[in-house]
Amino acid sequence: MPATIHAHKSFENTLLGRIVQSDRFKIYQDAFRLTTGLPLRLVSADADHWSLDENTTNRSPFCEALNLCSDAYTACRDTNRRLMREAEANGPSTCCCFAGLCATAVPVKMGASVVGFLKTGQVFTKIPSEAQFAEMLGSLGRKTLSESSINQLKSAYMSTRAVDPQRYDSMVTLLQTFAEQLSEHAESLAIIDEGSEPAAITRARKFIHANVDQPLPLGQVAREAGLSESHFCRLFKDSTGLTLTDYVNRCRIDWAKRELLRPEVRISEIAFLVGYQSLSQFNRSFARIAGVSPTQYRNQRLDRAAS
C-alpha cells in the first residue's frame, strides 16, 4: 500500500476510534439498543478490520458462536464485505446471510469519503423454526460439530430476535439520520484539539482558528508554534493526520457550512468571509471536502429543514 494511502487509512481509523469513545456515539448507541433491542456497532471501512467496539452487548450471540466454525466465519466475512461494498456504492444497504439473518450497514462519511459504517441487524424477518435450524446446520456440516456446539448454536439461533420488515426499515431510517450527524461530528473531530498533542501544535491550532479568514503561510504558523518549518510540518502531520493546507481548508469549509444555512447570504460573500481569495478556489475546496458543491449543500440542508 502506498505511504500516502496508508497514512490516510491510519488517520481515518484513528478518527473512528475517537468517535466510538465520544459521548455522542455512546449515548446514541445505548439509546438505540434499549429502544429497538438491536445491536449497534461502528465498523471501519477497511475490510480487513472488524468492529471498533468490543462491547459484547452489541454482538449477536448466534453470530459469535457461528464464527467459531471456520467455514461459517469465512462465509460471514464475505457477506459483510459484500454488504459494505453495496453500502459504500448505494447508501444504506441490507443483506441476509446463509443462516437467514439480516444485517444492515449505513455509511458514515467525512466529505465524499466513507470512513466507516454503522451496522445493526443480525435478526430474522420472521420467527425461526426447527426446520430452518436443521437446514442451516446441514449447510455447515453437522459431523464437524460436537453435540455441545450444536446445542449452543441452536439455543442462540432460536432466541435470535425476529423483527417485522416494516418496523426494521423504520429503525434503519433512524440510523441514517444518526449517520449524518456522525459525519458532521467526524469533520469537527478532525479539526479540534485531541488534548494529547504537543504544546507547539496546540499553539498553532489556536492561532489558525483565530485567524482562519486570513492568509496563513507555513512560515508564519511555524513561528507561532516556535518551530522550524520542516519540524513543524512533520509534527503537525503526526499530530493531526493532515497537512497544514488540508487542516486550514477543513476549518474554513466547516465555517462555510454554517454560513450556508443563511439563505440570504450569497455564496461568493461566504467564500471571501471564510478566507478564500476566489470563488473558484472555494468551490473546488468545498466539493473536495464536502463531496457536493456549496449550492447543493445549501439546497440539501434547507430542503431537509423545511420537510
**Where in the sequence is the domain holding 259, given as residue range(s)?**
199-306
Residues 185 and 65 in one domain: yes
Please check whether residue 60 is in contact with residue 101, taking contact to mean a CB–CB distance below 8 angstroms.
yes
C-alpha 145: how far from chain center = 37
Domain C-terminal end among 170, 189, 208: 189
In a domain, 235, yes or no: yes
Residue 292 has pLDDT above 50, yes or no: yes
Residues 177 and 212 in one domain: no
**d(Cα 92, Cα 115) in Å, to the nearest integer?**
14
pLDDT at residue number 219: 95
Across the chain, what does the average pLDDT equal? 83
Residue 198 — pLDDT band, cuts 50, 70, 90?
confident
Residue 49 has pLDDT above 60, yes or no: no
Residues 56 and 98 in one domain: yes
In a domain, 118, yes or no: yes
3-class SS at 305? helix
Residue 56 has pLDDT above 70, yes or no: no
Number of domains observed in the structure of the chain: 2
- pLDDT tens digits along 122-163: 889 888 888 888 888 887 766 667 788 888 888 888 988 889
Cell numbers at 189, concatenated: 473531530
Residue with the bigger pLDDT between 111 and 106: it is: 106
Residue 182 has pLDDT above 60, yes or no: yes
Residues 153 and 264 in one domain: no
Domain C-terminal end among 151, 171, 189: 189
The CATH number given to whatever domain includes residue 207 is: 1.10.10.60
Residues 125 and 14 in one domain: yes
The amino acid sitting at 102 is C
Residues 180 and 214 in one domain: no
Residues 136 and 254 in one domain: no
3-class SS at 62? helix
- pLDDT tens digits along 246-267: 999 999 998 998 899 888 999 9
Residues 56 and 120 in one domain: yes
In a domain, 174, yes or no: yes
Please provide the distance, in angstroms rounded to a whole number, between the alpha carbons at the two ends of the chain: 44
Residues 184 and 220 in one domain: no
Residues 98 and 144 in one domain: yes
State the average pLDDT over residues 160-181: 90
Domain C-terminal end among 165, 189, 213: 189
In a domain, 194, yes or no: no
Residues 210 and 162 in one domain: no
Residues 265 and 154 in one domain: no
Element (H, E) at 108: strand 102-110
Q: What value, to the nearest 5°, has the Cα angle with vertex 210 and ends 113 and 269?
A: 70
Residue with the bigger pLDDT between 217 and 85: it is: 217
Residue 52 — pLDDT band, cuts 50, 70, 90?
very low
In a domain, 129, yes or no: yes
